[in-house]
A and B are shown apart, each in its own frame.
Chain A
Amino acid sequence: MATTIALNMPRTQPSLARIYFNEVRFELLKLSRNRSYLFSMIGFPVVFYLLFGVTNKASVFQGHTIARYLLAGYACFGAMGSSLFGIGAGLALERGHGWLEMKRASPMPAAAYLLAKLCVSITFAVGITILLMILGTAMAGVHITIIEALRLLSVIAAGVVPFASLGLVIGLLMPSNAAPGVINLIYLPLSFCGGLWMPIEALPHWLQQIAHGLPSFWFARLALGSLGYSSSSALLAWALLAFYTVVFLLAAAFIFRRQEAQA
Chain B
Amino acid sequence: MIASLRSVSKRFGQQVALDRLSLELRRGEVVALLGPNGAGKTTAVRLLLGLSQATSGEVRIFGGNPRDRASRLRLGAMLQVGRMPETLRVREHLQLFSSYYANPRPLAELLAVAGLEGLEEKLFGTLSGGQKQRVLFALALCGDPDLICLDEPTLGMDVEARRAMWEQVRKLAARGKTILLTTHYLEEADALASRIVVIQRGKVIAEGTPQELKTADGSRSIRCTTSLRASFVSALPGVTNVEQEGNIMLVRTHTPEAVLRTMLEHDDALSGLEVRAAALEDAFLALTNNTTAAVQ
> A and B: partners?
yes
Residue ranges of A at the interface with B (Cβ–Cβ < 8 Å): 3-4, 7, 10-15, 18-19, 22-23, 26, 29-31, 33-34, 93-94, 96-99, 101-102, 104-109, 260-263
B123 partner residues in chain A, CB cutoff 8 A: 33
Q: Is the CB of A107 within 8 A of B79?
A: no
Q: Is the CB of B51 within 8 A of A98?
A: no
Q: Is the CB of A102 within 8 A of B96?
A: no
B84 touches A (CB below 8 Å): yes
Contact pick for B81, options A12, A97, A263, CB 8 Å: A97
Contact pick for B69, options A22, A23, A99, A107, CB 8 Å: A107
List 26 A–B pairs whose Cβ atoms lie within 8 Å, in order of A's numbering: A3-B144, A7-B146, A10-B73, A11-B73, A11-B74, A12-B102, A12-B103, A14-B99, A14-B101, A15-B102, A19-B99, A19-B100, A22-B99, A23-B96, A26-B88, A102-B77, A102-B79, A102-B84, A105-B49, A105-B72, A105-B75, A105-B149, A106-B97, A106-B139, A107-B143, A261-B53
Q: Give the shortest distance, in Å, between B286 (CB) and chain A (any CB).
A: 33
Beyond A19-B100, A23-B96, A98-B81, list 12 extra A-B contacts (CB 8 Å): A3-B176, A4-B176, A15-B102, A22-B99, A94-B84, A101-B79, A105-B50, A106-B72, A107-B72, A107-B143, A261-B52, A263-B46
Main secondary structure of the interface of B (DSSP, over half): loop
A11 partner residues in chain B, CB cutoff 8 A: 70, 73-74, 101-103, 143
Would A93 and B79 be within 8 Å (CB), given that A13-B73, A105-B51 are in contact? no
A22 partner residues in chain B, CB cutoff 8 A: 95-96, 99
Across chains A and B, the number of contacting residue pairs, with CB separation under 8 Å, is 105
Q: A93 vs B82: C-alpha distance in the bound complex, in angstroms?
A: 10
Residues facing A in B195-224 (CB within 8 A) are none
B99 partner residues in chain A, CB cutoff 8 A: 14, 18-19, 22
B261 touches A (CB below 8 Å): no
Q: Is the CB of B73 within 8 A of A104?
A: no
Query: Looking across the interface, which residue of chain A has its beta carbon closest to that of B13?
Result: A262
Q: Give the shortest distance, in Å, between A27 (CB) and chain B (any CB).
A: 9
Q: Give the shortest distance, in Å, between A218 (CB) and chain B (any CB).
A: 34
Q: A15 vs B72: C-alpha distance in the bound complex, in angstroms?
A: 15
The listed residue with most A CB atoms (<10 A of its CB), out of B72, B79, B100, is B100
